Amino acid sequence: MDRYAVIGHPVSHSKSPFIHTLFARQTFQQMTYEALDLPEDRFVEGINVLFANGLRGCNVTVPFKQEAYHYAQQLTERAKLAQAVNTLKVTDDGIILGDNTDGAGLLADLKLEFGGLENQKILLVGAGGAARGVLGPLLKANPAQVVICNRTPAKAKALADQFSDYGHVDYSLIEALDESFDLIINATSASLSGHALALPDALIHHKICCYDMMYMSGLTPFNQWAKNLGARQVLDGVGMLVSQAAESFAIWRGLRPGTRSVINELRRNLR
Ligand code: ATR
């Protein structure tokens, strides 16, 4: 049996074992996938032991994504852009490859639910690791513009500056935001602490789609806010979670599982 895992701290809440077990069943793969907790200061030691004992690959989650980025012996372009790794794989040559499938997962889910991003004006809220992880793939999808805003504006400006070679990206002060956006993506961790974002109500109109990269059993505070104000569509991060997992699975196993049934199954499981 080939062995895979998600490594994090804490990690017992992770839905990845559930998702990958369904993928393996769906595609008839002989593999195991488990959640493994490593002490916060023991990532390298722990992962060395796991690979020495035959682990074929793993997902890496909070707080180890940057450490995994430095640990990988080879990086994909998108991992370099994200400066974070959520997928490690032992290649046929025995090299540890680091990739980041978060952005691809978001794009796949947006495509499924929202359609293409060409000519769309997108507001990306947040300028931390989650925002950085998806910005490159978002710009690659040829939107009209991505505008970044953040509670701490200097971080939004810095992120926009760093990605200016990759597409039409800018930053804005929150007070200056208007109703011109087609899609708002919440990449902040505010929903985790149950906070709604202090965004202007004027952003929301009857054609807008809002996407919270977080998820919970009910509507996230951000999606609740957008829905109350009449947004056309609100989506949460369940689809992104399953889609980034499918991308990791494809990297390891060379075949891509279907996501729709797994998204539905996970949603039922969250209730
Ligand atoms: P992650 O890896 O999840 O992105 P992070 O790098 O700590 O975590 O970034 C968290 C993001 O959520 C930041 O953009 C943060 O804003 P600041 O840069 O101003 O700290 C944002 N954030 C977290 N809680 C928030 C809240 N209650 N309101 C608005 N923004 C919040």
- Ligand 1, atom nearest to 132 Cα: 4
Average pLDDT, whole number, for the chain?
96
Whether residue 218 contacts residue 156, with contact meaning beta carbons closer than 8 Å, is answered with: no
Q: Give me the CATH number covering residue 157.
A: 3.40.50.720
- Over residues 116-173, the pLDDT tens digits come to 899 999 999 999 999 999 999 999 999 999 999 999 999 999 999 999 999 999 999 9
- Ligand 1, atom nearest to 195 Cα: 27
pLDDT at 191 over 90: no
pLDDT at 196 over 80: no
Domain check: are 52 and 140 in the same one? no
Domain check: are 116 and 224 in the same one? yes
Question: What is the C-alpha radius of gyration for the chain, rounded to an integer number of angstroms?
Answer: 18
pLDDT at 195 over 90: no
Mutate to test the pocket of ligand 1, among 189, 197, 199, 215 (most ligand atoms within 8 A of CB): 189
pLDDT at 271: 79
pLDDT at 95: 98
Domain check: are 167 and 203 in the same one? yes
User: What percentage of the chain carries pLDDT values higher than 90?
Assistant: 95
> Would you call 65 a catalytic residue per the annotation?
yes
Domain check: are 108 and 231 in the same one? yes
Domain check: are 72 and 140 in the same one? no
- Ligand 1, atom nearest to 192 Cα: 24
Domain check: are 250 and 200 in the same one? no
- Distance between CA atoms of 231 and 205, rounded to whole angstroms? 6
Domain check: are 72 and 131 in the same one? no
What is the three-state SS of the chain? CEEEEEEECCCCCCCHHHHHHHHHHHHCCCEEEEEEECCCCCHHHHHHHHHHCCEEEEEECCCCHHHHHHHCCEECHHHHHHCCCCEEEECCCCCEEEECCHHHHHHHHHHHHCCCCCCCEEEEECCCHHHHHHHHHHHHCCCCEEEEECCCHHHHHHHHHHCHHHCCEEECCHHHCCCCCCEEEECCCHHHHCCCCCCCHHHCCCCCEEEECCCCCCCCHHHHHHHHCCCCEEECCHHHHHHHHHHHHHHHHCCCCCCHHHHHHHHHHHC
Domain that holds residue 161: 103-236
Q: Tokens 């995994």 label which residue?
A: 68
pLDDT at 221: 95
What is each CA distance from 262 to 10, 142, 180, in whole angstroms?
24, 28, 34
- Over residues 7-30, the pLDDT tens digits come to 999 999 999 999 999 999 999 999
Domain check: are 139 and 222 in the same one? yes
Domain check: are 110 and 166 in the same one? yes
pLDDT at 72 over 90: yes
Domain check: are 174 and 71 in the same one? no
State the sign of the Cα–Cα–Cα–Cα dihedral 251, 252, 254, 259.
Answer: negative
Confidence of residue 53 (pLDDT cuts 50, 70, 90): very high
Domain check: are 232 and 116 in the same one? yes
Pocket of ligand 1 (CB under 6 A): 126-131, 150-152, 155, 188-190, 195, 197
Domain count, the chain: 2
Whether residue 172 contacts residue 204, with contact meaning beta carbons closer than 8 Å, is answered with: no
Domain check: are 79 and 109 in the same one? no
Q: Tokens 């109500």 label which residue?
A: 201
Q: Give me the CATH number covering residue 67.
A: 3.40.50.10860
Whether residue 1 contacts residue 32, with contact meaning beta carbons closer than 8 Å, is answered with: yes
- Distance between CA atoms of 100 and 86, rounded to whole angstroms? 5
- Over residues 85-115, the pLDDT tens digits come to 999 999 999 999 999 999 999 999 999 998 8
- Over residues 230-268, the pLDDT tens digits come to 999 999 999 999 999 999 999 999 999 999 999 999 999
